[in-house]
Structure 1
């Protein structure tokens, strides 16, 4: 059989009992056509994996390409509290042009691609200050980078909806012109329940999924997650709703948090933890015994909630760090939530791969015969080692075509 690509002697993250420790992967016409040791046949490209891990491409469920890499133009914070990240970004948004957004977003997207990301949902803000320029700037990247990544846009009202005249109309316009998911940020709205209800209306009108920024804060008072669960069930949107941050859950005693988690699982509401941002912004109300402000995603996953870990902001006032490496976020999540056993680490690995794909409703994800050949080779023998060591990506493929090459490190002894 003539193949386009053979990856030889590689280990699979999801190898089951009885499967060989190492195998070959055969690719033809952008799809996996064979999984077996010692594949016979010629291939346009043949790569020796030397027992390294191959996984399906990483899945970024929550990032902000439109406002990445703006640190240099924002005022710097001089105190820990209050922290004015939204105000800092808001002040410079009127200066955004379509070309500016495209340029910055492309740079961030290429970083993510270089670290093995092959599927992504980016949140994009619309409001009277920025209009649709952020959407237009990011939308230009969908076709430009489809050779390496599948990119979808979630449109959101970062600075409020019910209290920000003109934003509702811009949200609708965005959903008519390229956005395929609708988002929310009720923390910044004077009427949080009204924003949430309006977002569900938009989702039903356009038959799109929902992905909200929700319940950031140091106290579990006034938990909007419960309203989201109620509306998800009311409108039959189970499995189509995700909420990000939800750091209020981190302030709850475990029995109370478990109750909310079970409510989310029953309603079909998924969770995305934005570890770096939640750590950086959280706990600023105190100068000692600073709380972690990060949800224990492992516990929610144990109770049936679909969970992902994602990057959120990169090099802006919300998170003045980041390089688009999802494994770094997963590693950080494991450390800060004190989840170090093999099963716990494996669960967090899934939050950037299998579970993240389920959150985005991508049933074709994974390494199996017939699946798209979106493949990543890591410098590690297995998923646990890769996450524990933040192993570098050595190669990536999108639909069987190589998109990334990184040479393994070499030591030059005297």
Structure 2
């Protein structure tokens, strides 16, 4: 396969990409003449559009996807009513139910350029049906998509009956990542103990860590500093992720000045879910009303790895969602006031490279020798793709086309007269 007339990120020239045996073998600038096509069995003309590493969805809950309104809607729109509605839905879970919804959601993501997904699976369900089903799907889809499963104690690792035992069972089943939710434990002490247990289990089972951390408006919720400190002292920051951290929106600047020094030294990763956070947070405010999204812009400026996820698609916490990470990125740029041109130039990092780093994906990116995994985006650079919300025109995995669509065509303009 050859891709001709392609743009690459942060490069003004046109490129030709050669793919053989599922890997990139040549990436060359075009000199104005078309390259030799004799050796290519298939030639795709990118027509000046952007060839980009695949989108990565680092934070979603596939076990809960497509369940909004079952059996009741989250009428208040709050995080905690969402947890209550999910508790009602959990007894209805079974393997066929989860498989059907998860596969539908994965297909939606794939159609929008995603080739790697990190999903959370609730361990505060004595049957662990979500963990079992999603781990089985991960193994079935291996080679087609990278899927990581987080063992996530929605109702608390230590506050839920047998929560610790269920977590260990989930890791024995094969969950890839140890999850947590320290701010939802009954006490501060239990929250701190839960983080220590998470670190202990990750080391015991050689797993990654992804903690729902300080997903609350309370400025006194400061488990992030505890998680970062444990990651630093155990020298495992690159394997640790703090998701949400919405309380950071309410921290004062003096405290954040101290905190950011620790965060940078620890090397931990961050995931923000802006569409969901701006919807769920600030619910105790009248006006002024907080945005309730973590300090994405400040994290970027401090060179701390931060990426974006959708979190939910049509579930008890968020009743919208369409699988389009470009929409999530658009929200983040607006909400976090990242609207200078310098912010746009590398905007796609937050749904590509940064997410891949968070998930510790190997051989990710458009480089000679890497697997030929890429997407073709409607636009010629990060800014044009973001501004136009360009379509994903093509998705290629290991050199095989897994999705392709034609760009929309405007055939006439009724508002213009000749």
**TM bucket by the smaller chain?**
over 0.9
Does residue 168 of structure 1 match 2:164?
yes
How far apart are the structure 1 equivalents of 2:79 and 2:402?
43
Residues 214-363 of structure 1 mapped to structure 2, 5 A cutoff: 214-363=213-362
How far apart are the structure 2 equivalents of 1:92 and 1:53?
42
Structure 2: state its 5+ residue gaps: none
Does residue 148 of structure 1 match 2:140?
no
Does residue 45 of structure 1 match 2:61?
no
How far apart are the structure 2 equivalents of 1:382 and 1:74?
44
The answer to which of 141-150 and 312-321 deviates more is 141-150
Q: CA deviation at 1:171?
A: 1.3
Structure 1: state its 5+ residue gaps: none
Q: CA deviation at 1:383?
A: 1.4
Does residue 128 of structure 1 match 2:125?
yes
Distance 1:32-1:389 versus aligned 2 partners, 3 A rule = same
The answer to which of 45-54 and 285-294 deviates more is 285-294
How far apart are the structure 2 equivalents of 1:28 and 1:289?
57
Q: CA deviation at 1:143?
A: 3.8
Q: CA deviation at 1:258?
A: 3.5
How far apart are the structure 1 equivalents of 2:370 and 2:62?
28
Distance 1:55-1:81 versus aligned 2 partners, 3 A rule = closer
Does the Cα contact within 8 Å between 1:298 and 1:347 map onto a contact in 2?
no
Name the residue aligned to 2:116. Answer: 119
Distance 1:359-1:369 versus aligned 2 partners, 3 A rule = same
Does the Cα contact within 8 Å between 1:272 and 1:307 map onto a contact in 2?
yes
How far apart are the structure 1 equivalents of 2:71 and 2:266?
40
Does the Cα contact within 8 Å between 2:77 and 2:317 map onto a contact in 1?
no
The secondary structure found in structure 2 opposite 1:187 is: helix
Q: CA deviation at 1:83?
A: 5.1
Which residue of 103, 107, 114 maps to 1:106? 103
Distance 1:82-1:293 versus aligned 2 partners, 3 A rule = closer
The answer to which of 131-140 and 151-160 deviates more is 131-140
Q: CA deviation at 1:341?
A: 1.5
Distance 1:349-1:259 versus aligned 2 partners, 3 A rule = farther
How far apart are the structure 1 equivalents of 2:80 and 2:203?
35
Does the Cα contact within 8 Å between 1:262 and 1:304 map onto a contact in 2?
no
Does the Cα contact within 8 Å between 1:258 and 1:303 map onto a contact in 2?
no
Name the residue aligned to 1:189. Answer: 185
TM-score by length of 1: 0.94
RMSD of aligned alpha carbons: 1.7
Q: CA deviation at 1:323?
A: 1.3
Name the residue aligned to 1:23. Answer: 15
Number of residue pairs matched by the alignment: 405
Q: CA deviation at 1:387?
A: 1.8
Does the Cα contact within 8 Å between 1:127 and 1:167 map onto a contact in 2?
yes
Q: CA deviation at 1:286?
A: 2.1
How far apart are the structure 1 equivalents of 2:397 and 2:348?
20
Q: Deviations over 1:272-316 (max 9, x none)?
A: 001111011011112332211112312112213111111111111
Distance 1:181-1:23 versus aligned 2 partners, 3 A rule = same
